[in-house]
Chains A and B, each alone.
Chain A
Amino acid sequence: MEKENEIAEKLKKHLKNNVFEVKIPRERRIFVKIGKTALKDAVKYLVHELGFTHLSTITGADTSEEIELIYHLAYKGSIELSLKTTVPKEKPVVPTITDIIPGAVLYEREVHDLLGVAFEGHPDLSPLVLPEEWPERVYPLRKEYTLEKLRKLTESTES
């Protein structure tokens, strides 16, 4: 747990009061919650200074009032750090990290497609997995869209 603690300390020192919460539930797993404004800075620091070069994926989750974004970064494929931040649902905008990690391009597109989060500066936010006939602004992974509601909505675009 030494390395994990070391990383957590370094991150706290770098981001100062933008770090809201740090959890180390077991070896090789760190969960850090930060403020939205510190996101890009945190990613840059983790990738360039701390050696978290691999982005496993970006998770988006609907927590009724907000949308939570979790960036899963890996250090040498070993330690997985989940960087959490939230955006308000009415205006879900966040800067892109594709200039730091080119491999994030499809993960951001996926979150945009299914949850409606806009990533400023992303080269191409066209739909990734939803079909072209899908109704606009219907984001399936949001909690307000139950299965029955989705069926009704897409039924009307079928004809």
Chain B
Amino acid sequence: MRYGSIIKVPFGPQHPALKEPENFMFEIDGEIVVGVHPRIGYNHRGIEKAFERRTYLQNIYLAERICGICSDAHTTCYTQAIENLLGVEAPPRARYIRVIIAELERIHSHGLWVGIAAHEIGFDTLFMYVWRDREVVMDLFETLSGNRVHYAMNTIGGVRRDIPADTVPKIKHGMDFLEKRLKYYLNVVQNEQTILKRTSGVGILKPKDAVELCAVGPTLRASGVKNDVRVDDPYAAYDEIPFNVVTHDGCDVLSRIIVRCEEMLESINIIRYALDNMPEGMIRVRVPMAVPPGETVSRVEAPRGELIHYAKSNGTTKPERYKVRSPTLGNIPALCKMLMGAHVADIPIVLAGIDPCFACMDRMTFIDDKTNKKWVWTMQQLRRKTRK
């Protein structure tokens, strides 16, 4: 029912609810959303074009920096693609290490997300607690790779660093601690009245819409659709490790929270199994610099969903064309569908519900050096625009 005139409320590019800039123009009637117009691209860096100007080895560093939170997913996808083109396979031990790092990244990413979701609905205490516990994973990353983000573990042909035997008890200890805490948070999320009131029945995405709009990841699985690249299209060592694909039938934000919490618990089990069953052997094979002509598609289940890379090589040391489609872009049409008919107050939590990573999503062809004044100019223009 329409009561009066429709107000247009801009959300972004700079807004406290958004950790990264993007622009949504909402048409509001009272407190209900009746129209959604997304405009992305504020994090343009020109990565796809940049890929074409660098060698395959240099591009590993570029791929990693597509995103800070899911950097390992991108390098895994990239190195798999190039290995495919070269016709080599990473040794068994390397594949297990890739799984362990990928799952640790999933825990850290989902943990970060749970904290942010709690913050969006005003529950700062939960936010502080989860991020404090997430430090366990960050410390493990620092032990294993020397960095808290951008671990630089993957390379073409395997991994660059081994997981030494004396760090295994440390990892397991961390996993035990996290498992206890996660079970507690799962309990809180499902029973705390104020959380339920803000997330249950909010941001509904029916299974039919989810499939038609090509949603991916936890967003898709929270609508009951059981698709997970690790099981459907196995890579690394996932075909040798038994685990469950977590789905939920609620189709709302609460289901998405539950799916991610339970996925974190599954990741803990995967890591434990991988640590116990890791084969001995080499961690990388040497590969030539030039890649024979060909094309390939590489897919990975990043924390946010299906990540797909397409690579075309032309026999030189630089790629002919490299295409990256991050999971967040795949979820935007579904997001728009979810937001129709929602309250204004629910916009941040529904937006957060798809776990948006706009750094991942926006990397397209643009100007790629951040240091020259062109970048500053663009930001000034953006700010001027939003004040209009």
In the complex they form, whether A and B have CB atoms below 8 Å apart is answered with yes
A151 contacts B312, C-beta separation under 8 Å:
no
B366 contacts A56, C-beta separation under 8 Å:
no
A55 contacts B41, C-beta separation under 8 Å:
no
Question: Which of A59, A107, A114: most chain B CB closer than 10 A?
Answer: A59
A103 contacts B366, C-beta separation under 8 Å:
no
The one of B53, B308, B312, B365 that contacts A140, using a Cβ cutoff of 8 Å: B365
Question: Which stretch from B55-63, B101-109, B266-274, B374-382 is at the chain A interface?
Answer: B374-382
| A11 → chain B closest CB, angstroms | 17
Q: Which residues, 51 to 99 on A, are CB-close (under 8 Å) to B?
A: 53-57, 59, 61-62, 70, 72, 76-80, 82
* Complex contacts, B377 vs chain A, CB 8 Å: 158
A114 to B213, CA, bound (A): 22
B330 contacts A76, C-beta separation under 8 Å:
no
A147 to B46, CA, bound (A): 10
* Complex contacts, A140 vs chain B, CB 8 Å: 46, 49, 364-366
B308 contacts A57, C-beta separation under 8 Å:
yes
Count the A residues whose beta carbon is within 8 Å of the partner chain — how many?
45
Q: Which residues, 326 to 342 on B, are CB-close (under 8 Å) to A?
A: 329-330, 332-334
One digit per residue, 1 when the CB lies within 8 angstroms of any chain A CB and 0 when it does not, for chain B 223-256 equals: 0000111001100000000000000000000000
Q: Known contacts A72-B297, A147-B53: does B364 contact A110 (CB below 8 Å)?
A: yes
The one of A62, A106, A133 that contacts B332, using a Cβ cutoff of 8 Å: A106
The one of B211, B295, B320 that contacts A53, using a Cβ cutoff of 8 Å: B211
A82 to B321, CA, bound (A): 15
- Is A154 in contact with chain B by the CB < 8 A criterion? yes
Q: Which residues, 123 to 143 on A, are CB-close (under 8 Å) to B?
A: 127-131, 133, 140-141
CB within 8 Å of B: which residues of A? 25-26, 28-29, 31, 53-57, 59, 61-62, 70, 72, 76-80, 82, 101-107, 110, 113-114, 127-131, 133, 140-141, 147, 150-151, 154-155, 158
